[in-house]
Amino acid sequence: MSRRSPRSGPRRPVDQARRAAFDALRAVHAGGAYANLALTDILDRRHLDERDAALATELVAGTSRLQGTYDAILEAAAGRPLSSLQPAVVDVLRLGTHQVLSMRIPTRAAVDSAVDLAGTAIGERVTGLVNAVLRKVAADSLDEWVDRLSAGTTGVAHLAVRTHHPLWIAETYADLLGEEAAVALEADNLAPRPTLVVRPGLAERAELVAAGAVATRWSPYGAVADGNPADFAAVREGRAGVQDEGSQLVALALSRVEAPAGPWLDMCAGPGGKAALLTGIARSRGEDVLAAELAEHRAGLVAQALRGYRPAGRVICADGTRPAWPARSFARVMLDAPCTGLGALRRRPESRWRHRPEDLDDLVPLQAQLLVSAIRSTLPGGVVAYVTCSPHASETEDVVQTVVEELGDDGIGTEVLDAPSFLPEVPDCARPDPWGGDRFVQLWPHRHGTDAMFLALLRVG
């Protein structure tokens, strides 16, 4: 069989699923996009059918999830660092490696499709390289490659390679969970089912269940459904949205704490799921929520999440560290602080390879500043929910301890409440606090089927 040359005419068109997956990965690696959001935008614009959309989704999610492992395999197969290759070529190789090693696609078809993608999306000059490297990749199974990569490692380092995580993340899990860490890390590799949430006052969960969804285990507002959430009328009409059950539960806990009457604040509200849920709950009590978000485009997402409410939910662009509101203004404050996102690795699989331990150097001081601001924004007797989608001690218990003790030295009393008591239906969610109690909530994918959300509830004196 003769090899095609650049002069032999155009290469056959690449199927739309693989091109969509490639373009989404380029948006992630060249533009810093979130994989799920980049792919959703591409699928919406290109109108792929259900089968192609499912294939593109698996290609992007699976490639992103095992990216670090695939990169090590590719460097071994290529005999050179990936940094010496054109970034777009690397993304083609990653997609091809996922098809060869982790999907039920015949090797020849997987390699040929990657070669075709390279020729169409990049140029004929790179097709020989892609073909040669992927055929070397295909010489062994994924298990055989992982055995080779993990040879000579022990303990947490061995666990990190076997579960496809950077070492620092595996160490974080091991510090928190001990022997349970292996199960937790494996859970990060299982794609979650889409979880929906109703906007209280606009829809009832029974409507979603009647349309084919299954009620969530603990949140009274959620339901799980496969497929496209927009297939549900309530989602299309803004009466429901997409939100992990863990995010629903931390908002529910804040709403259950006794607090004085008054407005509520969602301090870092983007993309708007918690703001929408809290708005419905607050309005049922004759109160309302102010949603504040620093980034203008994320504030737009919050407004979109609130679009079903009349009057419209209040959204402002504001820096939580420099409040645009007077001190002691709110009865309840939700602070879902910017974090490494280590608790959402199953949902945003590219995050495990995007973040570095040194990211904490910037995030932790910001988290502390925001928590101080949240406490100063709260009425006496009011409550602050400090939330992160990360279980890392530096972003969770350490921040709370530092702020509570420093504000105490300044004469601002802050009581750490028993957060698990406000989620009594959720088993095994208590996490030790620095003062010898178990007053924090920690949710886990492997225990609860949710993102690994952390929650501390603080009453302001």
Q: At a CB cut-off of 8 Å and minimum separation 6, what does 312 contact?
A: 303, 306
128-140 pLDDT, tens digit per residue, is 999 999 999 999 9
34-53 pLDDT, tens digit per residue, is 898 899 999 989 999 989 99
276-291 pLDDT, tens digit per residue, is 999 999 999 999 999 9
Q: Distance (Å, rounded) from C-alpha 377 to C-alpha 373?
A: 6
371-416 pLDDT, tens digit per residue, is 999 999 999 999 999 999 999 999 999 999 999 999 998 888 999 9
Beta bridge partners of 214: 224
pLDDT of 292 above 60: yes
Say if residues 278 and 255 touch (Cβ distance below 8 Å). Answer: yes
CATH code of residue 28? 1.10.940.10
Whether residues 139 and 115 share a domain: the answer is yes
Whether residues 167 and 285 share a domain: the answer is no
Whether residues 134 and 170 share a domain: the answer is no
Query: How many residues in the chain?
Result: 461
Report the pLDDT averaged over residues 66-75.
98
Cα 278 to its chain centre, rounded Å, is 20
State the chain's mean pLDDT as an integer: 95
In a domain, 174, yes or no: yes
The per-residue pLDDT for 251 is 98
Q: Strand 264-266 vs strand 330-336: parallel, antiparallel, or unpaired? A: parallel
In a domain, 97, yes or no: yes
Q: At a CB cut-off of 8 Å and minimum separation 6, what does 10 contact?
A: none
Whether residues 301 and 368 share a domain: the answer is yes
In a domain, 233, yes or no: no
Q: Distance (Å, rounded) from C-alpha 421 to C-alpha 405?
A: 23
The per-residue pLDDT for 17 is 96
Catalytic residue among 268, 317, 339, 389: 389
CATH code of residue 427? 3.40.50.150
In a domain, 230, yes or no: no
In a domain, 1, yes or no: no
Question: How many independent structural domains does the chain possess?
Answer: 3
The per-residue pLDDT for 11 is 54
Beta bridge partners of 383: 332, 459
336-383 pLDDT, tens digit per residue, is 999 999 999 999 999 999 999 999 999 999 999 999 999 999 999 999
In a domain, 7, yes or no: no
Whether residues 174 and 251 share a domain: the answer is no
Q: Is 389 a catalytic residue?
A: yes
In angstroms, the Cα distances linking 439 to 55, 340, 436, 451 are 43, 23, 9, 19
The per-residue pLDDT for 3 is 43
Whether residues 360 and 262 share a domain: the answer is yes
Q: At a CB cut-off of 8 Å and minimum separation 6, what does 193 contact?
A: 224, 225, 226
Could you tell me the residue range of the domain that residue 326 belongs to? 243-460
In a domain, 199, yes or no: no
The radius of gyration of the chain's CA atoms, rounded to the nearest angstrom, is 24
pLDDT of 2 above 60: no
Whether residues 161 and 253 share a domain: the answer is no
Whether residues 162 and 28 share a domain: the answer is no
144-200 pLDDT, tens digit per residue, is 999 999 999 999 999 999 999 999 999 999 999 999 999 999 999 998 999 999 999
Distance, first Cα to last Cα, the chain:
80
The per-residue pLDDT for 410 is 86
CA-wise closest residue to 66 among 180, 192, 177, 160: 160
203-236 pLDDT, tens digit per residue, is 999 999 999 999 999 999 999 999 889 999 999 9
Q: Distance (Å, rounded) from C-alpha 369 to C-alpha 220?
A: 33
Whether residues 62 and 179 share a domain: the answer is no
3-class SS string, the chain: CCCCCCCCCCCCCCCHHHHHHHHHHHHHHHHCCCHHHHHHHHHHHHCCCHHHHHHHHHHHHHHHHCHHHHHHHHHHHHCCCHHHCCHHHHHHHHHHHHHHHHCCCCHHHHHHHHHHHHHHHCCHHHHHHHHHHHHHHCCCCHHHHHHHHHCCCCHHHHHHHHHCCCHHHHHHHHHHHHHHHHHHHHHCCCCCCCEEEECCCCCCHHHHHHCCCEECCCCCCEEECCCCHHHCHHHHCCCEEECCHHHHHHHHHHHHCCCCCCCEEECCCCCCHHHHHHHHHHHCCCCCEEEEECCHHHHHHHHHHCCCCCCCCEEEECCCCCCCCCCCCEEEEEEECCCCCHHHCCCCCCHHHHCCHHHHHHHHHHHHHHHHHHHHCEEEEEEEEEEECCCCHHHCHHHHHHHHHHHHHCCCCEEECCHHHHCCCCCCCEECCCCCCCCEEECCHHHHCCCCCEEEEEEEC
Report the pLDDT averaged over residues 320-342.
97
In a domain, 216, yes or no: no
Residue type, 106: P
Q: Distance (Å, rounded) from C-alpha 328 to C-alpha 460?
A: 10
Whether residues 114 and 251 share a domain: the answer is no
Whether residues 260 and 338 share a domain: the answer is yes
Q: Distance (Å, rounded) from C-alpha 120 to C-alpha 126?
A: 10
Whether residues 399 and 281 share a domain: the answer is yes
